[in-house]
A and B are shown apart, each in its own frame.
Chain A
Amino acid sequence: EVQLVESGGTLIQPGGSLTLSCTASGFTVSSNYMTWVRQAPGKGLEWVSLIFSSGGTFYADSVKGRFTMSRDNSKNTVYLHMNSLRVEDTAVYFCAREEFDYWGQGTLVTVSS
């Protein structure tokens, strides 16, 4: 059974750093691309980042230079390393696989002083 489980969300102060994890089962995260999508409270879906099977990455302009996506094949896990966090980064963060047929349950990041 395919499953994605995110973790790592918490309350953090502006300017802080945080790493989110997304652990997969039932498929291999390196087989295709994986993405992070976020949703601010009461708002729509916003694509954040993508990692290809090659390891190459793309980012939304809103997070470029502050967020880094990586992958650990041995743990079948992708990560989102978030630096210089801003209040506007407050959101539920979801991971999804390339086909977008499976998503994690989401993890809440709250950036506030």
Chain B
Amino acid sequence: DIQMTQSPSSLSASVGDRVTITCRASQSISKYLNWFQQKPGTAPRLLIYAASTLQSGVPSRFTGSGSGTDFTLTISSLQPEDFATYYCQQSYYTRPLAFGGGTKVEIK
């Protein structure tokens, strides 16, 4: 089965910092990669799909890149509302629709 590995599992950053989260797939998934943001007690929110396409309504400070097995989510200038947990997910294989383990972005 395909596995998704995110790093780091957590990070501390300040408002205005540039933040980068990486996601690696155990097999090639072309560009079938989603990124989600989740805040406590709420459902995940889709940020980016197809590795680099910004979901409607998502601020342009979020960018995604990569293809094949290696992907990156970048927040260009961290805002207070961005402190949350971020997950990647592959959608190339429908079994399993594996998620990464998550990256918790905390306030430094």
Contacts and interface: CB of A to CB of B under 8 A. Distances in A.
| A and B pair up | yes
Interface stretch (B16-24, B62-70, B97-105): B97-105
Contacts of A60: 96
Interface residue SS majority, chain B: loop
A88 interface: no
A72 interface: no
B14 interface: no
A47 B44 CA distance: 13
B94 A44 contact: no
Contact of A47 (B38, B43, B85, B96): B96
B74 interface: no
Q: Which of the four size classes fits the interface of chain B?
A: 20 to 34
Q: Which of the four size classes fits the interface of chain A?
A: 20 to 34
Given A45-B44, A58-B94, A100 B99 contact: no
Given A100-B36, A103-B43, A103-B44, A58 B49 contact: no
A99 interface: yes
A44 B102 CA distance: 6
Interface string B22-39: 000000000000101010
A100 B96 contact: no
B55 A45 contact: no
A99 B49 contact: yes
Contact of B46 (A58, A61, A101): A101
Nearest to B97: A47
A45 B94 contact: no
Interface of B: 1, 34, 36, 38, 43-44, 46, 49, 55, 85, 87, 89, 91, 94-102
Given A45-B38, A47-B89, A61-B96, 12 more contacts: A33-B94, A44-B85, A44-B101, A45-B44, A45-B102, A47-B97, A47-B99, A50-B97, A59-B95, A100-B44, A104-B43, A105-B43
